[in-house]
Amino acid sequence: MAGGRRGPSRTSYCRTPLNESGSLGGSGYSTSSPITGVRSRTRSGSGTGLTSPPLATQTVIPLKHNKIPELPLEKSILFEFHLLFCHFIALFVHYVNIYKTVWWYPPAHPPSCTSLNFHLIDYNLLILISIVLARRLIIAVVKEASHGGKISVPQTVIFVTTRFAVLTGTGWSLCRSLIYLFRTYSFLNLLFLCYPFGMYIPFFRLKYLKRSNISSVANIGPNETITTVERSKDYLTVLKETLKSHTNQMHSLNTMPTHACCLSPDLIRNEVEHLKVDFNWRMKEVLVNAMLSAYYIAFVPVWFIKSTQYYDKRWSCELFILVSVSTCVILTRHLLPPRYCDLLHKAAAHLGCWQKVDPTLCSNVLQHPWSEEYMWPQGVLVKHNKNVYKAMGNYNVAVPSDVSHFRFYFFFNKPLRILNILIIIEGLVILYQLYSLLCSEKWHQTISLALILFSNYYAFFQLLRDRIVLGKAYAYSANANSEHKVN
């Protein structure tokens, strides 16, 4: 009948989740291709379904993950030795800056017979700072000595003796230094020693709450929320749970998460959520340790000197920044190894990304209502929360309005992005130190910059080595995949 139909019914394009064998998960249709499939929505009372315009006929390219070589990684104890060595160098050059003398004057008027005023150094404060800087190495040694496997009796004796000696020596030195400092300095000065640790627990407490939202939500009743459960606990219980959660997470930082190469949208989003939590925890661990080390290296020694003593404040601030940045780069390279970054890249490739577009520019283009149950191909337009988004990845299961999904895809879509950022930061630090070394006129600054430069050269060498090897590996995989498509 003329005028009986005002136009074809709008169909919604979607990609149904694929099972492990690659077949389509929906049962309402069948197709010869395991990748392409269109699920059409028919009008009520109509016996035939209309297919979508050419956007629906696009083929989703199957993901083929790149293979990267196994790069050598430092063991935990060796890495902690390297990090502690860099911190001790920075602490040494700062003490040179504070307690330097003019020992090169003529012998007729010698102001000092040594290069440093050793009698002004508070060795108890120095021991306390050294223990704080060596805390990671002490934990690594104790963890290594607490071997849980089947070992012989001599090895057991060695491990127990090592653990007892390290813990006893550290505890005795720490208690002795604290007792002396309490007798010598005021309570206000001692508060500056505890200030970083006062911020340490609340900082990770926020992380514990975020982890509870993911891992403990199943243990809460339907009428309860995590907020009400947490508020009912006293401070000591919260503090105990925070320390326990932090300790457990510290043990898992050296373990590598696994990537389940699944094709279910829900499983992909859940995997991304867990990887986001793990990545954020690692970055918080990097920031906290970097700021804590820089605080005790650059700030604490100058706070406890006498008021009549002169020191270069500009160099102390510069050292604080250099130690913070260098420690961040070294820890990030250790906690985010190439295999871990490749894991994040694989998850981002499965997640996909959406780009918000102007609805007026695509008013004549077919727009599909977004659904979390399906995979969407590249280039398709969807409607979500009264906005229009365009699919950017090969697979797109991300929530269009979720900013965290967009950030995850942006940072990890390129597998070498994190490594390039670290190389740029470390390169700028080295160039700045070389420039300062050329412009320095004082002997203590020349020695300080030269020693710090040597510690940064090794980290820069490791980053460049990983970048060259991984760049060639990813380029070879990309060329192999392009030749496979052409053939």
Residue range 354-366: mean pLDDT, rounded: 78
More confident residue, 146 or 127: 127
For residue 360, what pLDDT band results from cuts at 50, 70 and 90?
Answer: confident
Q: Is the domain of 266 the same as that of 396?
A: no
Q: Is the domain of 393 the same as that of 468?
A: no
Q: Residue 39 above 60 pLDDT? A: no
Written in H, E and C, the secondary structure of 152-170 is: CHHHHHHHHHHHHHHHHHH
CA dihedral 432, 435, 436, 442 (to 10 degrees): 160
Q: Is 419 exposed, middle or buried (0-12, 13-18, 19+ CB in 10 A)?
A: buried
Q: Residue 36 above 60 pLDDT? A: no
Task: Return the percentage of the chain with pLDDT > 70, whole number.
Answer: 68
Q: Is the domain of 260 the same as that of 395?
A: no
Residue range 298-304: mean pLDDT, rounded: 89
Query: For residue 185, what pLDDT is reported?
Result: 87
Closest by CA position to 291, among listed 321, 250, 249: 321
Q: Is the domain of 387 the same as that of 420?
A: no
Q: Is the domain of 257 the same as that of 398?
A: no
Q: Is the domain of 325 the same as that of 458?
A: yes
More confident residue, 8 or 159: 159
Which domain covers residue 304, as residue numbers?
Answer: 83-120+253-336+416-478
For 415, residues 6+ apart whose C-beta sits below 8 A from its C-beta are: 66, 341, 342, 345, 470, 474
In a domain, 470, yes or no: yes
Q: Is the domain of 327 the same as that of 421?
A: yes
In a domain, 360, yes or no: yes
Kindly report which listed range (85-89, 99-103, 169-173, 220-224) carries the lowest average pLDDT score: 220-224
In a domain, 366, yes or no: yes
In a domain, 347, yes or no: no
More confident residue, 72 or 105: 72
Q: Is the domain of 272 the same as that of 379?
A: no
Q: Is the domain of 390 the same as that of 332?
A: no
pTM confidence score: 0.74
For 94, residues 6+ apart whose C-beta sits below 8 A from its C-beta are: 297, 298, 301, 316, 319, 448
In a domain, 23, yes or no: no
Q: Residue 124 above 80 pLDDT? A: yes
Q: Residue 429 above 90 pLDDT? A: yes
Mean pLDDT value across the chain: 74
Domain count, the chain: 2
In a domain, 285, yes or no: yes
Q: Is the domain of 373 the same as that of 264?
A: no
In a domain, 144, yes or no: no
